[in-house]
Amino acid sequence: MNTPPAPSSPAGPRWLYLHGFASGPQSAKGVMLAEHYARQGIHLERLNLRQPSLEHLSLSAMMRTVRDAIGGERDRAIVFGSSLGGLTACRVAEEDARVCALVLLAPALRSPEQMRRNVGEEGLRRWRETGWMETQDYAEKRPVRVHFGLIHDLDTVDNRSGGWPDVRVPTLLIHGRQDTTTHIRYSREWAHGKRHVRLVEVDDGHELVESLGRIAAEADDFLRPFLVPTQRAPVPQ
């Protein structure tokens, strides 16, 4: 169940964090970044994107959750997104002018292609025929099934824009060269020739666990114009 967004501050936009597939608001990157920005007086709200549930996960429902969290017509947001959360951030940003900047961590660009590659032809056939794919719920540490409707939803959204998100806002993109889940070549292709996209490549895998300090430093530098205290968040001891 999502908590209502905190009241908007005149000091600046809301800051939102979107976790990845089969993850949750307590993901390591989300918690680290929230603590990092809390020390600077900035509240990074970690959304629950398991919408409407992990079993019936829907990109469209995830996007609605993000749009609702931004607030009213005059509100603005800086959106961090990891993996499938990164794709969600892109898809919201291309449609919603309230998003003013993105920080993408190994975003799942061309997600239907990447997911089909990861599950393989046989896995995809079973998923389509049975309607379910077995996977691991990393947040609750248990096996879980995900409905095939996720692939249909991803395809539908991708087909509306030729597969690539049409993002026009300043974007920082950090991706690991050893990522085997969301391949870095998609990020390279998407960022190529876009002056508003800064691609930072690191020697790391999909989880980016060895690059947490680099992520915080790069994000601070990129978001410096927005680094003013927003909602008053408690500073971790």
pLDDT digits (tens, 9 = 90+) for 186-209: 999 999 999 999 999 999 999 999
Collect all residues with Cβ–Cβ distance below 8 Å to 116 and sequence separation of at least 6. Answer: 124, 151
Nearest alpha carbon to residue 222 among 46, 75, 98, 101: 101
Across 64-76, average pLDDT = 97
Could you identify the residue written with the tokens 């790391």? 204
Distance, C-alpha 106 to centroid of its chain: 9
Across 11-38, average pLDDT = 94
User: Quick one: pLDDT at residue 174?
Assistant: 98
Q: How confident is the model at residue 232 (pLDDT cuts 50, 70, 90)?
A: very low
Nearest alpha carbon to residue 103 among 5, 13, 9: 13
Say yes or no to pLDDT of 132 above 50. yes
Q: pLDDT digit string (tens) for 134-168?
A: 999 999 999 999 999 999 899 998 888 788 999 99
Say yes or no to pLDDT of 5 above 90. no
User: Quick one: pLDDT at residue 60?
Assistant: 94
Report the chain's terminal Cα–Cα distance, integer Å: 28
Say yes or no to pLDDT of 227 above 90. no
Say yes or no to pLDDT of 223 above 70. yes
Ranges of each domain in the chain: 14-109+163-226
Say yes or no to pLDDT of 235 above 50. no
* CA angle, 4 then 136 then 160, to 5°: 65
Amino acid, single-letter form, for residue 207: E
Nearest alpha carbon to residue 174 among 200, 208, 204, 155: 200
As a whole number, the mean pLDDT across the chain is 91
Strand (E) or helix (H) holding 71: none
Classify residue 141 by burial, with Cβ atoms within 10 Å: 0-12, 13-18, 19+. exposed
User: Quick one: pLDDT at residue 230?
Assistant: 57
Say yes or no to pLDDT of 215 above 90. yes
Say yes or no to pLDDT of 231 above 70. no
Q: Are 88 and 67 in contact (CB under 8 A)?
A: no
Can you identify the CATH homologous superfamily of domain 14-109+163-226?
A: Alpha/Beta hydrolase fold, catalytic domain (3.40.50.1820)
How many alpha carbons fall within 13 Å on the CB side of residue 24? 11
Q: How confident is the model at residue 7 (pLDDT cuts 50, 70, 90)?
A: very low
Nearest alpha carbon to residue 203 among 224, 184, 220, 231: 184
Q: Are 86 and 190 in contact (CB under 8 A)?
A: no
* Rg from Cα positions in the chain: 17
Report whether the peptide linkage leading into residue 52 is cis, meaning its omega lies within 30 degrees of zero: yes
